[in-house]
Amino acid sequence: MSPSLGILRVSRGTCLVHSARRGTLGLVLASRGVRPVSSCPDHHYDVVISGGGLVGFAAACSLGQSQRLSDRKILLLEGAPNKPWQLPGEFSNRVCALNARTRTFFRKLGVWEHIEQLRAQPIRRMQVWESCSEAMITFDGQDQEDGALAHIVENDVTLHAIKKQIPEHVEVEYNAKVESCQVPKDSSSRVMLSLADGRTISTDLLIGADGAKSLVRRSMGVQHLAWDYDQMGIVATLQLSEAVDNTMAWQRFLPTGPVALLPLSDDHSSLVWSTTRQQATHLLALSDEDFTEALNRVIWEDNESDARVKSIHQAWLRLLETVVPGESKDIRQLPPSVARVLPATRGTFPLGLGHAVHYVGPRVALIGDAAHRVHPLAGQGVNLGFGDVAALTRCLDNAVLLGEHLGDEEALHQYEKEQQRYNVATMASIDGLYRLYNTTAAPLVLLRSLGLSAVNVMSPLKDKYRRHIKAWTMTDDHSQIRDYKAGLALRHLVV
């Protein structure tokens, strides 16, 4: 129970809630026959985070470390059991590319140091190319202080590092599934939660970090735009044919979806292969050897390019060479060949897009996949979630400074405004990229190939494009998002 709040059971169904901090006495009425969630809570917390995935734990860490929130009772509820963890010899098949923005945030929390001590592989260069033409683009992290575009980190490593930095006063409960939540119509009442084990909890602010199928979001009754890409993401750990300076990320767009090799160590990479459900089922059924062969084929083979597209594209490259001599020498590098897929590391995940029209309501805020879900092709999903955590922490800090309560709608709306502006633009770009590459129609293949090659060889254009990518991957500067209008268009679609 919160030290600042006492709950006195006066008679059956009625209880008095006393707030020592504000010196007020409030009356909470719970009549007989009403669902248990609305009866007197067993406990009260200032903040409850529902969901202990990467984003929920990051919120527990960030809010717990906030000086202004240091006297607040914070509880994280995770439905799954706690699994003891030690760094295993083998790499996990679940990894994320953590961008520079996340790295900066994690440095502030003291999380990044733990990640570095455990395991992380920098991406210094990235090559993106496609199977329908010879167009390609490369990026490097030369304008980053450590020269890295991003780092590939196993999800378990990130989670462990975050947990190490959660202050002791933050309570964490595992096996604590939230079964229902009652969100108030306005900020004058509190949120009431009922857990699967029968306990009830009230809170001034509920943070929904409970993933793409969020119960919190459903309880808010907020409109949710979602569609299924009818694709699965196949993940696996790969051993490369030879040890190299493996700091390059490779992504090839195929008509069925992108396939990406993300560096883990000199001779290991992580696979994210997005493809149709049908092909995913087929690929999963293959032996490890046949799967490896199928993978090498889609990375290496060149049998899908259209001869007309190829010749026009080559003429275009020659023309570009006359316009910007020397610049088009950015030659395509050969991707690594895969020696084998490590046994029992293949897994699949359904891929879709989801976006809550509102991230906040009275005394509720959504973060992470509960608020937005994206295709993994740009490696942005969890990075957006960590951005939510940073923004929400700032908003709650300000609310406390201004003497407002934690569930204050004004403060929460500030969080929503800030994050939707950023997230919607990013989501629109990712979805646009997915659609652009999801076609084999020759005119479109030609257009995108000419466009990509022009961007790749013309420094000013490439710098502009890099700034877009940077807005996704590197900086904290939201003003760099020129795709805002595209984002707004998506939002209008949603509303």
Residues of the shown chain interacting with ligand FAD in the complex, contacts defined by CB under 6 A: 50-56, 77-80, 96-97, 177-178, 209-211, 215, 233, 235, 272, 349, 368-369, 376, 379-383, 385
Closest by CA position to 369, among listed 183, 162, 168, 212: 212
Of 137 and 181, nearer to ligand FAD (C-beta) is 181
Strand ranges (DSSP E) for 359-441? Answer: 360-361, 364-366, 372-373
Of 350 and 432, nearer to ligand FAD (C-beta) is 350
**In the complex, minimum distance from the CB of residue 319 to ligand FAD, in angstroms, rounded to a whole number:** 36
How far apart CA 183 and CA 203 sit, in angstroms, is: 10
**In the complex, minimum distance from the CB of residue 103 to ligand FAD, in angstroms, rounded to a whole number:** 12
Of 80 and 489, nearer to ligand FAD (C-beta) is 80
- Direct distance between the N- and C-terminal alpha carbons of the chain, in angstroms, rounded to an integer: 40
Give the tokens for residue 435.
Answer: 């659609």
Phi, psi at 270, each rounded to 5° = -105, 140
How far apart CA 22 and CA 294 sit, in angstroms, is: 65
**In the complex, minimum distance from the CB of residue 97 to ligand FAD, in angstroms, rounded to a whole number:** 4
Of 28 and 342, nearer to ligand FAD (C-beta) is 342
**In the complex, minimum distance from the CB of residue 232 to ligand FAD, in angstroms, rounded to a whole number:** 9
How far apart CA 19 and CA 211 sit, in angstroms, is: 32
**In the complex, minimum distance from the CB of residue 293 to ligand FAD, in angstroms, rounded to a whole number:** 22
- Residue 106's contacts (CB-CB under 8 Å, 6 or more residues apart) are 98, 112, 115, 161, 386
What is the crossing angle of helices 100-109 and 111-118, to 10°? 110
Name the β-bridge partners of 257.
Answer: 254
How far apart CA 61 and CA 160 sit, in angstroms, is: 12
**In the complex, minimum distance from the CB of residue 53 to ligand FAD, in angstroms, rounded to a whole number:** 2
DSSP-based three-state secondary structure for 189: coil
DSSP-based three-state secondary structure for 72: coil
- Residue 301's contacts (CB-CB under 8 Å, 6 or more residues apart) are 131
Of 259 and 411, nearer to ligand FAD (C-beta) is 259
**In the complex, minimum distance from the CB of residue 148 to ligand FAD, in angstroms, rounded to a whole number:** 14
CA angle 54, 378, 162 (to 5 degrees): 20
Strand ranges (DSSP E) for 335-387? Answer: 338-341, 347-356, 360-361, 364-366, 372-373
Of 309 and 430, nearer to ligand FAD (C-beta) is 430
* DSSP per-residue letters across 247-283: -EEEEEEETTEEEEEEEEETTEEEEEEEEEHHHHHHH
**In the complex, minimum distance from the CB of residue 50 to ligand FAD, in angstroms, rounded to a whole number:** 5
**In the complex, minimum distance from the CB of residue 247 to ligand FAD, in angstroms, rounded to a whole number:** 16
Closest by CA position to 378, among listed 251, 204, 205: 251
**In the complex, minimum distance from the CB of residue 25 to ligand FAD, in angstroms, rounded to a whole number:** 32
How far apart CA 409 and CA 363 sit, in angstroms, is: 7
Of 53 and 263, nearer to ligand FAD (C-beta) is 53
- Residue 24's contacts (CB-CB under 8 Å, 6 or more residues apart) are 18
Of 64 and 379, nearer to ligand FAD (C-beta) is 379
Give the tokens for residue 261.
Answer: 């090799």
**In the complex, minimum distance from the CB of residue 210 to ligand FAD, in angstroms, rounded to a whole number:** 4
Of 227 and 334, nearer to ligand FAD (C-beta) is 227
Of 272 and 317, nearer to ligand FAD (C-beta) is 272
Of 316 and 472, nearer to ligand FAD (C-beta) is 472
**In the complex, minimum distance from the CB of residue 149 to ligand FAD, in angstroms, rounded to a whole number:** 12
Of 56 and 317, nearer to ligand FAD (C-beta) is 56
Q: Residue 26: which H helix or E strand, with range?
A: strand 24-29
Closest by CA position to 367, among listed 478, 212, 218: 212
